[in-house]
Amino acid sequence: MNIEETQDWFSTLRRFGIKPGLERTTRVLAALGNPEKGLRFYHVAGTNGKGSVCAMLSAMLRATGARVGVYTSPGLAGFNGRMTIDGQRIEDDEFARYAACVRDVMEADGGEDPLTEFEVLTVMALLYFAAAAVDVVVWETGLGGRYDATNVVTPCVTAITNVSYDHVQILGPTLTDIAFDKAGIIKHGVPVVTGADGEAYRMIEQVAKTQGAPLMRLTRDFSLVRTGQTGLSQTGYYRGLHRDTAEVNLSLFGRHQLANAAVALAMLETQIDNRETDHWARAIAALPTVRWPLRFEVFRGASGPVVLDGAHNPGAAFQLSRALTDFSVSQGSQNEWSMLIGVLADKDVTPMLRSMLPHAKDVIICRPNHVRGADPADIRASVHMLRPDLPVRVIENVHEATSVAVREADALVIWGSLYMVEQARETISKLEMNYWI
């Protein structure tokens, strides 16, 4: 297959939707010689922060001299952006070649219980990383953990960043249910790091004990406390599992990124010998270089800041709200924000709006270019219910809505579905805006 034929084939996979379970993936991997067996994985699950943890881990591991494969979802630049080696996404010809390998096995299997789109991508990533003989793979779950396709591997360390409400129709209605599913990535004897608390932590602790897995908990066993802030940069004191570091500099903004960085550092600590001080120093020095698009990514608009954030569930919206307050204080202003919002229909939008609308002075609502994109009229009704005083417009097309919002707003935040925010970013990139420093 060439890349066009590959894209056509992928379009046929979407009808299979989401089908949790590992049997399909393990069957195809066995037919392909189990490429995952020779790889070393840092496996990351959680409701929010997975991508940021993966970005920081990747940078630190590369700084220590490792060749690093990263698998995330969703990724910038389409499917190719989901699998990278040392920051470079897979090329089209390689992508097509590994897709053809998976398709051939699926066809030889008789077409019964075929792989979903995500499962195909997961198998392709394993083939790609195995062929390249990477030293380590930073491996992000897609949805949940226990029955997620990524859970076919045995990692050297796992992490569950945090647990809050998302995908409840699949993972379960309570935090305990969601935590149980995410804790499914915990393997026998493999260290697990978590930032979860409350009832979610208690479930993770229970699973870890059952698996005989050493469990490290944020604030109890390790922490990163902010000691300073300049612009979008933060400085913190890391109290670690085996070592303390007085000055850790982060380029990712927001208090939640301190927790994410602490999880990444603790994961790394479980794998670095206490005597490897040079590796640790190089890892710490890499953190200020990390950029993670669509996570409080700030551009300099003509009249003020333009913030992009894929806050797509209640927990993420809460953290974005706090970050907006911190950002305004850091700039010596009390910005009211124009907002461009687009979410998916299966998200609980009301608590998200409760967190975000206190910052809003006006709102534009668009429809994400995704099969699950929410009807803007429904979101407008939810906005009016919470803030009947707020001016609200619907501009369905994401690119048109972004152009209007950027042109008219003094301070703008674009938030919601990662798919929508990525589309908005494409429009902004054509305007050649500079990053906010």
Q: Tell me the residue type at 167.
A: H
State whether residue 370 is helix, strand or coil: coil
- Report the pLDDT value the prediction gives residue 208, as an integer from 0 to 100: 98
- Report the pLDDT value the prediction gives residue 185, as an integer from 0 to 100: 98
The answer to whether 193 touches 157, Cβ cutoff 8 Å, is: yes
- Report the pLDDT value the prediction gives residue 16, as an integer from 0 to 100: 57
Tokens 């913190």 -> residue: 236
Residues in the chain: 437
User: Which superfamily, per CATH, for 297-435?
Assistant: Mur ligase, C-terminal domain (3.90.190.20)
- Report the pLDDT value the prediction gives residue 432, as an integer from 0 to 100: 81
Burial class (CB in 10 A: 0-12, 13-18, 19+), 109: middle
Domain boundaries defined on the chain: 3-289, 297-435
Identify the sign of the CA torsion 187, 189, 195, 201.
Answer: positive
Q: What is the pLDDT along the chain (437 residues), one digit of tens a residue?
A: 888 889 888 888 875 567 778 999 999 999 999 999 999 999 999 999 999 999 999 999 999 999 999 999 876 678 999 999 999 999 999 999 999 999 999 988 776 788 999 999 999 999 999 999 999 999 999 988 999 999 999 999 999 999 988 766 677 789 999 999 999 999 999 999 999 999 999 999 999 999 999 999 999 999 999 999 888 899 999 999 999 999 999 999 999 999 999 999 999 999 987 777 899 999 999 999 998 889 999 999 988 999 999 999 999 999 999 999 999 988 877 779 999 999 999 888 999 999 999 999 999 999 998 888 999 999 999 999 999 999 999 999 999 999 999 999 999 999 999 989 999 999 999 988 888 86
Element (H, E) at 342: strand 337-342
Q: How far apart are CA 73 and CA 347, in angstroms?
A: 18
The answer to whether 296 touches 258, Cβ cutoff 8 Å, is: no
Bridging pattern class, strands 215-217 and 192-194: parallel
- List all residues 6 or more positions away from 15 whose beta carbon is below 8 Å from its beta carbon: none
State whether residue 190 is helix, strand or coil: coil
Count of C-beta atoms within a 10 Å radius of residue 108: 10
Choose the CATH number for 3-289 among 3.60.9.10, 3.40.1190.10, 3.20.20.20, 3.40.718.10: 3.40.1190.10
State whether residue 267 is helix, strand or coil: helix
The two three-digit tokens of residue 256, written as one number: 């939640």
